[in-house]
Chain A
Amino acid sequence: MDRPSSTTRTVPPGLTFPETTPLVVPTDAPAPGRARPALPLRREGPEKLTGEAKYADDLVFPGAWFGATIRSTEPRARLLEIQLDDAFDWKRVVVVTADDIPGDNIVSLIDTDQPVLVPVGGEIRHQAEPCALIAAPDRATLREAKRHVKLRTERLPAVFDPIEADREFAHYTVESGDAAAAMKEAALVIEGTYRVGHQEQLYIENQAMIAVPRDDGGVTVHGSLQCPYYVHKAMKRALNMGDELAVVVQAETGGGFGGKEEYPSVIALHASLLAMTCRRPVRMIYDRHEDISATTKRHPAVVRYRSGVSDTGELIAQEIEVIMDGGAYCTLTPVVLSRGVLHAGGPYRCPNVRITGRAMATNTPPNGAFRGFGAPQTEFAAEMQINRLAEALDASPLDLRRRWVYRQGDTTPTGQVLRESVAGIEVLEAAAEASAFDRAHAQTHSMREGRTDGARTATGIGLALAWHGAGFTGSGEVKLASVASLELTEDGRIRILTASTEMGQGTKTIFPQLVADTLGVEYDEVEIAPQDTSIVPDSGPTVASRTAMVVGGLLIRAAERMRARVEEATGRSFADAYRGAGPMRIDEQFVPYPGEPFDDKTYRGDAYPAFGWAACVVKLDVDLDTGEVAVRDCVAADDMGRVIHPVLAEGQIEGGTLQAIGYATIEEMKLVDGRYLNDRMATYLIPTSLDAPRIRSIIVEAPFSGAPHGAKGIGELPMDVGAPAVVAAIHDATGTWIHYLPATPERILAALTGGPMPPPPGISLEAPEPNSPPIEDLPPGGDEMPFRAPTDPGEPR
């Protein structure tokens, strides 16, 4: 493979993991997935390319009705009555309210606080909250019916700022040493408060679900989703169904990024309730506007950070307070906060650390999973601190990291000893070398020194480093107890059975790779069963960069057992013998990785089985007239353990890096009265190909011995590191630190000129601007708001 932008390096074994147990695969054999062919084409690629792939909205169910959701339009209120206007003939449609829910009125996840539908008398807690459902035989009838429903409510006071909120979803403390005492001893202390806003996943396919009632009283849902068994669990609880009655089938899924981790449970319950009521299939396919308005976003966060450095130049103290905005309901917020807290110190050795985290409830739509899952928020703050410390110490940001980054044998704030696969220094050096960081940094520095008054643009270079815990926390994987299965069918086919979903990241390609190589057969000889809860076991959710490492590891072990069993029974090689050796099924269940168990109460122990490591160097230009940022060049070095498919891995690095650049520069949800103002693709903008820099991906491989194939996971890692690199480069160009994400031109120009700073990200404005119309009156296309009339004296604000 000749791809000039990609470099793969293997860390010399003697350097980083001398005392670990050897990989299960003999060192003279190719690693699983690397044997032959090294880079198979995507399993589902041809169908997607030719348009044959069936996404939820492509699925045809004769006689299906169309479903819609009646949502609140206030951030907080008491629901007094659902009024059905007599002017409409309600026999033409079906209407579902909370009274029609056969089981508990709960969207089952971590907590039980979120109702499927707000009951009459219940509390509406956000602007897009589902209160009733309608299904109709056609869309025109559905639209007409929707217009004849009114919610009578009593408005209640709403809270928008997590700092002012009093309802808490979770809190954690991580403590090692005595941070307060050490801070007093520090020769240099740097403090900062950092705020980051919402981010929308903007998967290419909107949320979609079709529920089909069955004769046995059960319901099968087909939808766009990441976690079939999350939906399954939610259906059992709210629909009062047993394991077999609720069936969840993943349709081809057009992206997720975490956005299809928890929300599909909501839409599946809605579609199911309607289908059970009208006794026909019901399609609920969100349009983009509804999808952005109602579904989960990345959590906004406030991070207050204090770092202390000794007179000998060591990082000796960190005091960190993290406040996340969970939105109106719990969803996955405690786990997001947990990951944010566990990553908040950054990848640096520090003996005295105190990290506290709180997640608070506000009257905004619930926030949830998004690639990085709490870590991008806190690691932005951590890297801002390191870069500001480098400035205060007059040290190179590269040298300071070389000095402080975790090495093998170091201990993290939870007391986890980093025994192996510690590649922070390798990714740092790889990115520094490929970007010629020292030379480029010196150049931009002298350009800044020599800049004259009328300069049009300023060039800057920025560096950031990150770590990302692989998979769930230690205790999380133990609780999941995932199962992956491998089947040899009676007619001699090899079939993978897992609930791990394909959403564009490559699950359906790497699993057959791993199994084929372990069995010694060709890639095409291994099939993968549909992600259907009536067929596949619960392999846990497809999240947390855990699929390659955890479920991939289970499949390799299952394949090892199957191969051994067939070869022992037949005395021949598996490849020769397997066609007549079935039927056989091997179920492999997760067993904990070696290490100290993680204690959820004390937050001590091995937080994650291993960490991935990432460094990013960004070069950009700032337009000094407008504050616009053009990211020109980016070097991303990522260690994900042993790589299974380099092309797919590189795709993850490039995609994650670009998503991080959007987070850093332009992606901002604006809220008024708790409602997303820019809830359309015309107004919520992400980078286009013209905004994308050249991205040079460097793959660093520091294998993890706990997984049989040495993989750690890559999906989220690049998301953690891009934004602080961008903001460091903006500082390098202009000399000004932007403490808020995104670093929009509005914020940059205000910082450069001393003008008024726009409001912080993630906080809703209390009420509509006096001269602004309600959003329903937005001009067609949603492309603009009316402007103050030119004759208006328009006092400057």
Chain B
Amino acid sequence: MPNFVEPPIESPASLEQAYGLLRDGDGRPWRPLAGGTDVMVQITGEIGEPPARLLDIWAIDELRGIHVEDGALLIGALTTYTAIRRSDEVAGLVPVLAEAAATIGAAQIQNRGTLGGNVVNASPAGDTLPVLLAVDAEFVLGSSDGERTVPARSFWTGYRQTARHDHELLLRVRIPLLSGREVRFRKVGTRRAQAISKVVMALSWRVDGDAWTDVRLGLGSIAATPVRAPATEAALEGQAPTREAADAAAAALSAEIHPIDDVRSTADYRRAVAGRVLHRLIRDNGGW
């Protein structure tokens, strides 16, 4: 016997059915249920209000799959971390996403947890989210009104808040493929597996001669949402990955972010480590 009252749940078989339910006018918001790795922790109501009702989208297969289209990698919202880790397309085109997926939870979590769930759950510590920021990912949302696209950098609007409306579903993540783009990822957690990050970052750039261009730095666990670090990006833009550039970027990052003390780490540590890890990523690619 479960230790809680199960919220009402619907399991639409198609997107159209799902869109219809999302517009049912009941007034209580639906919580989309994908792999359930976040929702099932919340469902007992033991911590905060449990979801009012659940929209189980697991059966909507059109939300699964990875393919390339129009110069972009498209990943369905229901694609699991395990599927991402096993995908030849991801390995060949955005291998850093597989690297980030491998750091999440344990095998059981990776079998159920989905990329779309990570995006919509909107945890500031979501481990794939800095990667999605660094590669200029876009999120395609759907509803009975049609589709619209929101860039990753404007999707997370506040602590645990997103640009998704209650009647919309996240359909897929679109990652534009750029030639010559390099991306690096680093997660700092309390232990080597099954740890929520203290600091997580992804750095991307393109090489133009000696210099780096189109620099993007996505960070997690250092603000209320996953964030980009524009001042640090500007400090690196057009620079070669020299010691001076790394020093300047690390200093810019430590000045730019305002993490807090929480149950996992301290503001001082997060600020220091963000700079030191960024310095290391640059150094590793500068070859000095």
Contacts and interface: CB of A to CB of B under 8 A. Distances in A.
B196 interface: yes
A745 B258 CA distance: 19
Nearest to B255: A796
B259 A787 contact: yes
A143 B267 CA distance: 37
B153 to A, nearest CB: 12
Nearest to A771: B260
A148 interface: no
Contacts of A289: 46
Contacts of A792: 258
Contacts of A753: 272
A691 B160 contact: no
A37 interface: no
Contacts of A630: 192
A138 B261 CA distance: 40
Contact of B195 (A670, A685, A771, A797): A685
Interface residues of B, number: 53
Nearest to A453: B243
Interface in A756-796: 756, 758, 769, 771-772, 776-790, 792-794, 796
B258 A749 contact: no
Nearest to A792: B258
B48 A787 contact: no
Name, among A756, A783, A784, the residue most crowded by chain B CB atoms within 10 Å (CB to CB). A784
Interface in B1-37: 1-5
Given A677-B263, A787-B159, A780 B48 contact: yes
A687 interface: yes
A785 B260 contact: yes
A625 B48 contact: no
Interface stretch (B68-76, B135-143, B218-226): B218-226
A683 B265 CA distance: 11
A788 B259 contact: yes
A626 B225 contact: no
B193 A688 contact: yes
Interface in A661-712: 666, 670, 677-678, 682-683, 685, 687-691
Interface in B229-288: 258-269, 271-273, 276-277, 279-280, 283, 288
Contacts of A785: 260, 262-263
B119 interface: no
A690 B191 CA distance: 8
B271 A769 contact: no
A139 B263 CA distance: 30
Q: How large is the interface on A (under 10, 10 to 19, 20 to 34, 35 or more residues)?
A: 35 or more
A64 to B, nearest CB: 11
Nearest to A140: B5
A658 to B, nearest CB: 12
A677 B265 CA distance: 12
Contacts of B196: 682, 783-784
Nearest to A747: B269
Contact of B267 (A139, A683, A783, A797): A797
A454 B277 CA distance: 12
Contacts, number: 145
Nearest to A672: B263
A287 interface: yes
A691 B191 contact: yes
A746 interface: yes
Interface in B106-132: 123-125
B89 interface: no
A782 B47 contact: yes
Contact of B47 (A678, A691, A746, A778): A778
A670 B262 CA distance: 10
A755 B272 contact: yes
B165 to A, nearest CB: 20
Interface in B136-167: 158-160
A790 B48 contact: no
A787 B264 contact: no
Nearest to A758: B266
Interface in A632-661: none
A42 B126 CA distance: 43
B192 A745 contact: no
Nearest to B225: A790
Contacts of A772: 260, 262
Most buried by B among A678, A688, A778, A790: A790
Interface in A28-78: none
B214 interface: no
A790 B224 contact: yes
A625 B273 contact: yes
Contacts of A789: 158-159, 223-224
A787 B193 contact: no
Contacts of A15: none
B283 A454 contact: yes
Given A625-B277, A781-B41, A678 B263 contact: yes
Contact of A784 (B41, B46, B262): B262
Contacts of B279: 625
A456 interface: yes
Given A140-B5, A287-B3, A454-B283, A746 B265 contact: yes
B133 to A, nearest CB: 13
Contacts of A755: 268, 272
B106 to A, nearest CB: 8
A746 B158 CA distance: 28
Nearest to B271: A796
B55 interface: no
Contact of B4 (A139, A691, A771, A797): A139
A750 interface: yes
Nearest to A788: B260
Given A666-B191, A787-B222, A780 B5 contact: no
A694 B128 CA distance: 31
A788 B260 CA distance: 6
Contacts of B38: 780-781
A440 B288 CA distance: 29
B231 to A, nearest CB: 12
A455 to B, nearest CB: 11
A789 B195 CA distance: 23
A783 B227 CA distance: 18
A168 interface: no
A675 to B, nearest CB: 12
Q: Which of B196, B221, B263, B277 has the most CB of A within 10 A?
A: B263
Interface in A131-149: 138-140, 143
Interface string B165-195: 0000000000000000000000010111111
Given A626-B273, A666-B190, A670-B263, A779 B48 contact: yes
Contacts of B276: 625-626
Given A625-B277, A758-B266, A783-B196, A769 B260 contact: yes
Contacts of A781: 38, 41-42, 47
A596 interface: no
B121 to A, nearest CB: 9
Contacts of B47: 776, 778-782
A634 to B, nearest CB: 16
A782 B258 CA distance: 21
A502 B70 CA distance: 64
Contact of B280 (A456, A786, A788): A456
Nearest to B276: A625
Contact of B190 (A138, A685, A782, A794): A685
B120 to A, nearest CB: 13
19 contacts: A139-B1, A139-B4, A143-B45, A287-B46, A625-B280, A626-B188, A626-B276, A626-B277, A627-B273, A776-B48, A778-B48, A781-B47, A782-B41, A784-B262, A785-B262, A787-B124, A788-B223, A793-B258, A794-B258
Given A758-B266, A758-B268, A796-B268, 7 more contacts: A139-B1, A758-B269, A778-B48, A780-B47, A785-B262, A787-B124, A789-B223
The 9 A-B residue pairs with the shortest CB-CB distance, nearest first, are A794-B258, A780-B42, A785-B262, A781-B41, A690-B192, A625-B276, A690-B193, A746-B269, A788-B260
